[in-house]
């Protein structure tokens, strides 16, 4: 597809297929990869002026894009990728990918984020979602975040953020994040990373396109994965999308899944679990159309 440039960093009609972990083919009306806050503001101004909605994109590992065109400006944080080690942790740009950060931190003897191994998210997306796994969450480490709220640059302390289970900071644009970490022996950190990865590989389909868990765990103390499994949904398929045979709360793309296939599977999951257990599953996966509202 021919991509036309609006200016030196905003493009028109850009495929998002390699920018979302479910590998859904969707075309963004406009797409920008600003290199700094000035360009970020310029992109927002560009959209505002034309009445176009903006979607901020991290690793695209928790967003379901539509099969059709996405009538929006997608602003990727992929160029916000600097980080700085401090005496007790790291200050990192929102677009830094967790696997990269984990490697850099373990090389320097900073531990704590081992639970994130195998997750293709950015730190910005992780703070937005309060990413968590294995009994830990990113807000265990967040000290402060640097954001833009209604055009104003702010520094917000963790105590002033109402975060919770899979809900982090949602009010504005995350620019950078200060994480407090633990000084640890490098070999010990690497041993922990290996252990976590080993555990995850046994129960999660990390070798297939997915967006991690599709549903939040309900408050009843049984995981969504277990409910879906007991509702007979492991391996259940619609088109190219399937509830993983390894972990029923992961929907995987078998190669040619559409957004429609995935939405249909999600509805079937909600229906079957409700019918069998009278439990209403709440989605963790975000639909792009909903983010834009
Ligand atoms: C293999 C795999 C395993 C996973 N395992 C886990 C897990 O164990 N635990 C877990 O919690 N999640 C998991 N996930 C889901 C996903 O990685 C998390 O939800 C993650 O927090 C999403 O981060 P992202 O950078 O990909 O954000 P995106 O999917 O790009 O965006 C998610 C939301 O954050 C917003 N956003 C992104 N960047 C910014 C920013 N800078 N400022 C403001 N808003 C922003 C987006 O607009 C969107 O609303 C997994 C996903 C995969 C593919």
**CATH number of the domain that 34 lies in?**
3.30.43.10
**H-type alpha helices, 97-255:** 98-107, 123-129, 186-203, 224-230
Give the C-alpha separation, 32 to 56, whole Å.
Answer: 10
Name the β-bridge partners of 276.
none
In the predicted structure, residue 233 carries a pLDDT above the cut 80: yes
In the predicted structure, residue 6 carries a pLDDT above the cut 90: no
Asked if residue 245 and residue 282 are part of one domain, the reply reads yes
Residue nearest to atom 8 of ligand 1 (CA): 133
> Residue 39: how many CB atoms within 10 A of its CB?
18
Domain stops at, among 52, 76, 100: 76
pLDDT tens-digit profile of 93-112? 999 999 999 999 999 999 99
Question: Span 275-279, mean pLDDT?
Answer: 97
pLDDT tier at 1, thresholds 50, 70, 90: low
> Residue 37: how many CB atoms within 10 A of its CB?
14
Asked if residue 110 and residue 62 are part of one domain, the reply reads no
Distance 62 CA to ligand 1 centre (A): 5
pLDDT tens-digit profile of 68-94? 899 999 999 999 999 999 999 999 999
Asked if residue 117 and residue 15 are part of one domain, the reply reads no
Asked if residue 118 and residue 146 are part of one domain, the reply reads yes
Asked if residue 247 and residue 191 are part of one domain, the reply reads no
pLDDT tier at 16, thresholds 50, 70, 90: very high
Asked if residue 197 and residue 135 are part of one domain, the reply reads yes
pLDDT tens-digit profile of 36-46? 999 999 999 99
Asked if residue 132 and residue 27 are part of one domain, the reply reads no
Q: What are the pocket residues of ligand 1 if the criterion is a CB atom closer than 6 Å to any ligand atom?
A: 21, 55-63, 77, 94, 119-122, 124-126, 128-129, 131-133, 166, 173-174, 206, 210-212, 286, 291
In the predicted structure, residue 26 carries a pLDDT above the cut 90: yes
In the Cβ-directed half-sphere of 194, how many Cα atoms lie within 13 Å?
Answer: 6
Asked if residue 107 and residue 164 are part of one domain, the reply reads yes
**b/e per residue, 230-262, with b = 16+ CB within 10 A?**
ebebbebebebbbbbebbbbbbbbeeebbbebb
In the predicted structure, residue 113 carries a pLDDT above the cut 70: yes
pLDDT tens-digit profile of 156-205? 999 999 999 999 999 999 999 999 999 999 999 999 999 999 999 999 99
Domain stops at, among 47, 76, 105: 76
Distance 195 CA to ligand 1 centre (A): 23
Atom of ligand 1 nearest to the CA of 129: 21
Cα dihedral across residues 255, 259, 262, 268: positive or negative:
negative
Per-residue pLDDT at 265: 98
Contact 131/211 with Cβ under 8 angstroms?
A: no
pLDDT tier at 293, thresholds 50, 70, 90: confident
93: nearest Cα among 79, 81, 110, 105? 81
Asked if residue 130 and residue 172 are part of one domain, the reply reads yes
In the predicted structure, residue 5 carries a pLDDT above the cut 80: no
In the Cβ-directed half-sphere of 60, how many Cα atoms lie within 13 Å?
Answer: 22
Asked if residue 98 and residue 170 are part of one domain, the reply reads yes
Asked if residue 236 and residue 140 are part of one domain, the reply reads no
In the predicted structure, residue 60 carries a pLDDT above the cut 70: yes
Distance 59 CA to ligand 1 centre (A): 6
Residue nearest to atom 4 of ligand 1 (CA): 212
Structure tokens at 190: 């690497």
Average pLDDT of the chain to the nearest whole number? 96
234 or 68: which leads in pLDDT: 234
Q: How many domains does the chain have?
A: 3
Asked if residue 198 and residue 107 are part of one domain, the reply reads yes
Per-residue pLDDT at 127: 98
**CATH number of the domain that 284 lies in?**
3.90.78.10
**CATH number of the domain that 168 lies in?**
3.30.465.10
**What proportion of the chain, given as a percentage, has pLDDT over 70?**
99
Domain limits at 40? 4-76
Mutate to test the pocket of ligand 1, among 41, 57, 58, 65 (most ligand atoms within 8 A of CB): 58
Q: If phi over 0 gives left and psi between -120 and 50 gives alpha, with beta otherwise, what is residue 46?
A: alpha
Distance 122 CA to ligand 1 centre (A): 7
């Amino acid at each position: 597809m021919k991509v036309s440039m609006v200016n030196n960093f905003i493009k028109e009609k850009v495929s998002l297929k390699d920018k979302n972990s479910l590998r859904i083919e969707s075309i963004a009306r406009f797409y920008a990869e600003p290199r700094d806050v000035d360009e970020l503001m310029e992109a927002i101004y560009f959209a505002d002026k034309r009445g176009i909605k903006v979607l901020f994109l991290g690793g695209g590992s928790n967003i379901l894009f539509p099969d059709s065109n996405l009538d929006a400006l997608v602003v990727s944080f992929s160029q916000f990728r600097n980080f700085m080690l401090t005496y007790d942790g790291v200050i990192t740009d929102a677009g830094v990918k967790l696997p990269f950060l984990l490697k850099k931190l373990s090389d320097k003897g900073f531990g704590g984020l081992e639970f994130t191994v195998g997750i293709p998210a950015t730190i910005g997306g992780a703070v937005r979602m309060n990413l968590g796994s294995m009994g830990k969450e990113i807000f265990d480490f967040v000290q402060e975040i640097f954001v833009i709220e209604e055009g104003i640059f702010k520094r917000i302390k963790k105590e002033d953020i109402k975060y919770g289970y899979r809900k982090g900071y949602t009010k504005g644009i995350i620019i950078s994040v200060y994480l407090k970490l633990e000084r640890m022996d490098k070999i010990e950190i690497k041993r922990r990373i290996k252990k976590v990865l080993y555990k995850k590989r046994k129960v999660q389909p990390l070798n297939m396109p997915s967006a991690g868990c599709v549903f939040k765990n309900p408050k009843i103390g049984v995981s969504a994965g277990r409910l879906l499994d007991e509702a007979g949904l492991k391996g259940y398929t619609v088109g190219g999308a399937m509830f993983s045979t390894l972990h029923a709360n992961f929907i995987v793309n078998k190669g040619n899944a559409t957004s429609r296939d995935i939405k249909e599977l999600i509805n079937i999951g909600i229906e079957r679990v409700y019918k069998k257990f009278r439990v209403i599953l709440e989605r963790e996966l975000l639909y792009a159309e909903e983010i834009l509202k």
